Amino acid sequence: MTRAAVLALAAFVALFWAVRVVPGDDIYLANGDLFGYFYPAYEGAYARLGAGTLPLWNPYQLCGLPWLATLQTGLFYPPHLVYLLLPVHTGMAISSIGHLLFIALATALFARRVGLGLAPAVLAALLFACRGHMVYLLYWPAAIESAAWLPLGAFATVDLARGRPRRGALLLAMSAGASLLAGYPQNTLYLLYAWATLFLVLLAAERPGLAPALGRTVAFGAALALGALLAGAQLAPTMELTADSVRATRALPLRQIFPMGGGIIGNVAWDFLTHLSLARHPLAFGVPALLLLPLALARGPQRLVALWAAGFGATALLFALGPLTPVFQLLLHLPGLAWFRIPTRALFVVDFCYALLAAAGLEAALGEVGSRRRVFGATALACAMLALVVAGKATPNAGVGAVVIVAATLGLVALRAAGTAVRGVAALVLVAVVAVDLAAAPRRRLRFPFGRDAATMIHDRRALYDELRARLGHDRVWLFTGLPPVDLSPKLPTLFGVRSFDDYEPLVTRRHGEYMTYLWDGATEPSRPPYMFAGYLNTLDPPRGRPDPAERRRLVDLAAVRLIVLPPHVASRPDVVRFVAKAALVPRDPIGDLVAFENPSRVPRAYVTYRVLPAPDTSALLEAVSRPDFDPLAASYAEDPPLLPAANAPARGAAADIALDEERAVEVDAALNAPGLVVLADTFYPGWQATVDGAPARIVAVNHLFRGVAAPAGRHRVRFEYHPASVRRGLAASAAGLVLLVGLAVSGRRRRVPPPPR
């Protein structure tokens, strides 16, 4: 591409999005994650990283979570360096627009690599970067960051298929590794399928012979493996968590794949196709580009990539539509596709294929391809049909839509009727019409947290959390807000260092999911949407036919929850009033503008018990420990119990003192009258190590969620410290991958150095 074309494209994309990421008016479910998840998660994590501490364990949510393993903060994603240099709201704006610019330039680069001209390449870049579901992905930074590497990886795939293994392997490894590090593996999986199918199509067209084909295939697989190795620092701890989490790598049932309304009634892809796809909507395809599609498969150098785009794009669209077609059930048998929820997230791949098809159509219109009369007739017929269809869809700005249709149709007629010199001008005019159509589309008025007011909104709550921390001591708070407002996001306890009972986190341990779901539903499997525990409870009403959650309030006590804090409108709800009464919560002075109750039945966060029973199966165990009369200081359940009760053991244990309470280390001073179990009501998880007076000790799971260590009679200092082997393995893998990547780059550079003159 010429420098002028690159600058013009970059300027348009930057201006297009700059006026669209100015703070809007609304915050609700569609953009709530930006404010309620990503903003506080980024600020909490990168503040610690900036202070020289790698965030490994988060003790402030759900009795403790493996921080790095929860994935979506993307701590090792290279572009996130911006969060160490700038305020979070500024960094989010720069990162978002920067990734959109990267998407545009990489798409144009790929289009040129597969033989498309300058105008078609610019058209493809505009369509992929400025329309469709990129608008949607902007509200989930990890999603757009992982998807952004699709066109560069496709460029690398062309190199590998056509026999340029070094550059291709280098770029593909970088693309795969960066997409994985961004922290949205569902999108990375779609990228892998796109690259693999494109590679196979191009390789089949090349017909290089068996040995070269095998070598290129090995190079393609090795590049992807190198990408996974580069992402090892993130993948290793995440895989450890995923192996025993609510989001384990297994096929999900259909109701979890489509958690909101089902695969038919709640199908976002179907709604998009039937109501939003043509024009006058931020997600729409746009009429001018649609007019080019009939030409996309005409003969010419662009036909091969157009065939791939048509086939893969149609398959991705059928997958996004879910059970509306029988194809969906067949596709679920492919590796990984049944692991993730909401297949409509694959629509960004449809966008990429659509952009390539429109560009291929423009390339065909520019060239002397086949019979001019036949191509011209197909174009005119498509224009007439689309004009009729779109006439009723181009609302609310039907006038602009009609002008765009007429201009695009005349542009195509000019392309087919004019000479070669005039076609170049007509092509640029058509690209300009597409740009006008994009700019004229309505804007989504959802707010972005890219202004200083977002930081103010959240940090205005600091005084509330400071007071909570002072009142709690070493115990926890349950900030129950129903559907939480932004300024009371479940992620804020992490930001302000307050230990909380719940969270908003899509990747939590199996133990958390079962424990909290049993409190909510009275069973270990969720019975209501989203059919998978997401970190917090939004109602205290029971499912139909199930006992009230107030009957299982002992699970709250066991987690050392001292305070339950609620907004006034939530505190007056019938389900909350009922829970407060049955749990005999004691009203306390308000905390800021929130209603506060103290829980007099809470169990100490650290205590000694002398009677340890073998834990039954999960359902029976949770049923036993959720009974109101369960007393863990008299008897607790442990998996693989480390001791038998001594004959002279007291009937009941006592609270222990927490002497040190840090993020990755907790020390407990315990006085035992007989051999017993020192229990800490923090999450049982791999990577925690324990010592008793400096001697190594084995940690066991106690009462399903918590951890305990056997200790002899006497006064002892029990230390719990987090040293995850998965992080060490992951960092070593990333270091090895980086060495290999640099070696690949350097060796390729050396091979290109010309020999000295004789």
Separation CA 361–CA 440 (nearest Å): 23
Token pair, residue 178, equals 């960066």
For residue 743, the tally of other CB atoms under 10 A from its CB is 10
Q: What is the pLDDT of residue 62?
A: 94
**Which value, to the nearest 10 degrees, does the dihedral of the CA atoms of residues 49, 50, 51, 53 take?**
20
Task: Determine which helix (DSSP H) or strand (DSSP E) holds 565, and give its type and residue range.
Answer: strand 561-566
| pTM for this model (two decimals) | 0.91
Separation CA 741–CA 751 (nearest Å): 16
Q: What is the DSSP string of 97-130?
A: HHHHHHHHHHHHHHHHHTT--HHHHHHHHHHHHH
Separation CA 102–CA 145 (nearest Å): 10
Q: What is the pLDDT of residue 479?
A: 94
The full set of domain ranges for the chain reads 3-440, 460-552+561-598, 606-725
Q: Where do the H-state alpha helices sit in 281-371?
A: 287-290, 303-321, 327-331, 347-366
Q: Mean pLDDT for each 10-residue chunk of the chain (758 residues)? A: 86 87 68 89 94 95 95 94 94 93 96 91 93 84 96 97 92 97 96 97 91 95 97 96 88 85 70 73 76 75 88 94 90 93 92 93 70 49 49 45 53 56 68 81 80 85 94 96 84 94 92 95 88 87 90 97 95 94 95 95 97 95 96 95 83 96 97 96 98 97 97 97 96 96 81 52
Candidates 548, 507, 579, 576; CA nearest to 142 is 507
Classify 302 in phi/psi space as left (phi over 0), alpha (psi -120 to 50) or beta.
Answer: alpha
672 and 713 Cβ atoms separated by less than 8 Å: yes
Question: Cα dist. 145→75, 87, 138, 396, 668 in Å?
Answer: 13, 19, 9, 32, 42
Would you give the end-to-end CA distance of the chain in angstroms? Answer: 36
Separation CA 629–CA 125 (nearest Å): 65
Q: What is the DSSP string of 550-563?
A: GGGTHHHHHTTEEE
Q: What is the pLDDT of residue 397?
A: 45
Q: What is the pLDDT of residue 51?
A: 92
Q: What is the pLDDT of residue 368?
A: 53
| Partners of 587 in the β-ladder | 597
